[in-house]
Structure 1
Amino acid sequence: MAGKDVLREIRKQLEPHVGEKIKLKANRGRRRTYEKEGVLESIYPSIFVVRVDEPNYFQRLSFTYADVLTETVELTFGESKRRRSASL
């Protein structure tokens, strides 16, 4: 059950950042990647939600903690450029 402990640790590290601005880079497969800026809106047991607020673009994106673990999603918090990835 070490895998669940790693996912739980990722969740714990994201919790203090709820409400903060973040940059995310997501790999959606087949060379489709996108980069967005938003706010880490909420944390749930299996997923976290990012609210993207750009001109003419409002959307909520949800990701799993496994996405962070497998580096499908990379998060950068605030201006400090702290990057969250599988090497937490």
Structure 2
Amino acid sequence: MANKNPLSTIKANVENHIGKKVRLKANKGRKKTTIREGILESAYPSIFVVKIDGGYNSVRRVSYSYSDILTETVEVTVCDEERKIQIS
């Protein structure tokens, strides 16, 4: 039997962790990386959304595509289990 599409596997992994606290490590280019923590809020057919508490009663939502995880532009770690969501 053929392997599943890697993007659909990543999407399924992300959907399993909706509502959990995650740590995002995003590569912004030119040796710049940002690390943020937030709640995995929702998953859509081509993107997922993370809600980040910005302090001072502000909430920020950032979205990434599943291909960002595939190309390792973004690393998503579930804080409860310290397990990376990646192709399995």
Say yes or no: TM over 0.5: yes
* Greater length-normalized contact order (CA 8 Å, ≥ 6 residues apart): 2
Gaps in structure 2 of 5+ consecutive residues:
none
Q: How many pairs are equivalent?
A: 85
Structure 1 moving runs of 4+ over 4 Å: none
Give the structure 2 partner of residue 60 of structure 1: 61
Give the TM-score, by structure 2 length: 0.86
CA distance in 2, matches of 1:34, 1:23: 10
Q: Decide which structure has the larger Cα Rg and report it.
A: 2
CA distance in 2, matches of 1:33, 1:54: 18
CA distance in 1, matches of 2:80, 2:73: 22
Amino acid in structure 1 at the alignment position of 2:68: D
Give the structure 2 partner of residue 37 of structure 1: 37
Give the TM-score, by structure 1 length: 0.86
Deviating more after overlay: 50-59 vs 71-80: 50-59
Gaps in structure 1 of 5+ consecutive residues:
none
CA distance in 2, matches of 1:65, 1:34: 18
5 Å-filtered alignment, 1:6-21, equals: 6-21=6-21
Amino acid in structure 1 at the alignment position of 2:5: D
Q: Which of the two has greater helix per residue?
A: 1
